[in-house]
């Protein structure tokens, strides 16, 4: 029995690890969208973060620099999006899509010299406790510092948006940029900041993949996780806590279905493969049925270009 319990613990630990990039990218994108900016470039910013982190790790041999560098490069890439959509007033959707395509191509180009280099071991915290405490050990301990940060982030984001003045300003800008502007808020500055923050978080999500989850550089290694993060934000109706739930369900069913296959359950494999997508959508739709709350959370001006009246 204790073995079984421990096994479940290991499973939950694995699920948590797999949901980290989704939580990070979705939390970042959530702030961006709350300010009224729809950035579809999540996948592109993630992959740039992944290659930058890995390249810096190889060059400097310093994981701390690699992680910081990945965030900075995600941020730099998002500046392009910011300049185009905020200063040159281009369409958000088209620009975001272009950013993703750009990011994938750019990362492949930078990455040519980093293919086939094994990654470095990322330090995990409390490995002793993980092995000595059954069940709870593998859940709570033996993770990287980024995982702990990722699991704190939705709560911090929630507090930030609801209880702080800056959070309120961001929501105001997202709901009605014109009114916010009339109140003397610099809409463009707020949106720029939110775009940069989203870029940094996506960069970190990418670094988690290339430095910790599958420590190596492989082209296209984000494998569509950026798009899932984007979808999570919408289905979670812009609520950080629901983003966390959605990411855990998605990661959980992805891993569980592999275990179900390995056990040899006689369920069609195609159905099992589709299950993470189906279940995540169903659960998020069900827990987000309150239309009043949806209205409250949805940034009304999402994706609209803001023309400042002069």
Partner 1 sequence: MYKNFLRYIISVLFFLGVSGQANADFKVGFVYVGPTGDHGWTYQHDEGRKAVEAAGIKTTYVESVPEGADAERVIRQLAQSGHDLIFTTSFGYMDPTNKVAKDFPNVKFEHATGYKREHSNVSTYSARFYEGRTLLGHMAGKMTKTNVIGYIASFPIPEVIRGINAMTLAAQKVNPDIKTKIVWVFTWYDPGKESEAAQALIDQGADVIMQHTDSTAPVQVAEKAGVWSFGQASDMQRFAPKSILTSIIDDWAPYYVERSIAARDGTWKQQDTWHGLKEGMVAMAPYNSAMGSDLVKEVEQLQKDLASGKTHSFTGPIYDQKGNILVAEGSVADDGMLAGMNVYVKGVEGDIPQ
Residues that bind partner 1 (CB under 8 A): 7, 10-11, 14, 18, 108, 111-112, 115-116, 118-119, 209, 213-221, 223, 225, 254-255, 258-259, 261-264, 266, 268-270, 273
Q: How far is the CB of 216 from partner 1 (least distance, A)?
A: 6
Q: How far is the CB of 81 from partner 1 (least distance, A)?
A: 23
User: What are 262-267's contacts with CB under 8 Å, separation 24+?
Assistant: none
Q: How far is the CB of 258 from partner 1 (least distance, A)?
A: 4
Rounded to whole angstroms, the Cα distance separating 40 from 218 reads: 22
Closer residue to partner 1 (CB): 184 or 224? 224
- Asked if 200 and 28 touch (Cβ cutoff 8 Å), the reply is yes
Q: What is the dihedral angle through the alpha carbons of 4, 6, 11, 17, rounded to the nearest 10 degrees?
A: 180
Q: How far is the CB of 54 from partner 1 (least distance, A)?
A: 12
CA atoms within 13 A on the CB side of 66: 28
Closer residue to partner 1 (CB): 126 or 160? 126
Helices assigned H by DSSP within the chain: 2-34, 42-60, 63-82, 92-111, 127-132, 136-140, 145-163, 165-175, 177-182, 187-207, 225-235, 240-263, 269-287, 291-297
Closer residue to partner 1 (CB): 109 or 189? 109
Closer residue to partner 1 (CB): 28 or 138? 138
- Who's near 200: CB < 8 A, 6+ residues apart? 28, 71, 72, 74, 75, 78
Angle, helices 187-207/2-34, rounded to nearest 10 degrees: 150
Closer residue to partner 1 (CB): 18 or 237? 18
Q: How far is the CB of 171 from partner 1 (least distance, A)?
A: 33
37: helix, coil or strand?
A: coil
Rounded to whole angstroms, the Cα distance separating 145 from 2 reads: 28
Q: How far is the CB of 135 from partner 1 (least distance, A)?
A: 15
- Who's near 146: CB < 8 A, 6+ residues apart? 20, 24, 67, 204, 207, 208, 212
Q: How far is the CB of 12 from partner 1 (least distance, A)?
A: 12
Closer residue to partner 1 (CB): 234 or 272? 272
Closer residue to partner 1 (CB): 84 or 212? 212
- Who's near 92: CB < 8 A, 6+ residues apart? 37, 38, 39, 40, 85, 303, 305
- For the record, the structure tokens of 246 come out as 């959605």
- For the record, the structure tokens of 160 come out as 């930030």
Q: How far is the CB of 158 from partner 1 (least distance, A)?
A: 27
Closer residue to partner 1 (CB): 213 or 238? 213
């Amino acid at each position: 029995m204790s073995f079984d319990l421990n096994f479940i613990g290991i499973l939950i630990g694995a699920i948590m690890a797999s949901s980290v990039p989704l939580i990070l990218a979705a939390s970042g994108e959530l702030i961006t969208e709350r300010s009224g900016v729809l950035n579809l470039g999540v996948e592109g910013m993630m992959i740039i973060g992944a290659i930058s982190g890995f390249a810096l790790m190889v060059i400097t041999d310093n994981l701390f620099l690699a992680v910081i560098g990945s965030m900075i490069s995600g941020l730099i890439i998002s500046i392009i999006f910011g300049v185009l959509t905020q200063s040159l007033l281009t369409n958000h959707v088209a620009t975001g899509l272009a950013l993703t395509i750009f990011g994938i191509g750019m990362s492949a180009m930078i990455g040519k010299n980093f293919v086939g280099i094994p990654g470095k071991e990322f330090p995990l915290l409390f490995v002793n406790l993980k092995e000595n405490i059954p069940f709870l050990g593998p859940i709570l301990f033996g993770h990287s510092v980024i995982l702990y940060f990722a699991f704190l982030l939705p709560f911090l984001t929630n507090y930030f948006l609801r209880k702080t003045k800056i959070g309120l300003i961001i929501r105001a800008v997202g709901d009605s940029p014109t009114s916010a502007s009339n109140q003397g808020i610099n809409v463009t500055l707020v949106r720029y900041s939110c775009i940069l923050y989203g870029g940094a978080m996506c960069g970190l999500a990418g670094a988690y993949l290339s430095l910790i989850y599958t420590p190596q550089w492989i082209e296209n290694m984000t494998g569509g996780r950026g798009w899932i993060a984007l979808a999570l934000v919408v289905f979670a109706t812009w609520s950080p806590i629901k983003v966390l739930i959605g990411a855990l369900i998605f990661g959980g069913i992805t891993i569980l279905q592999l275990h179900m296959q390995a056990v040899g359950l006689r369920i069609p494999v195609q159905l099992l493969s589709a299950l993470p997508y189906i279940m995540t959508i169903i659960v998020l739709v069900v827990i987000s049925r309150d239309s009043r709350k949806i209205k409250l959370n949805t940034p009304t001006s999402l994706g609209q270009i803001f023309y400042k009246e002069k």
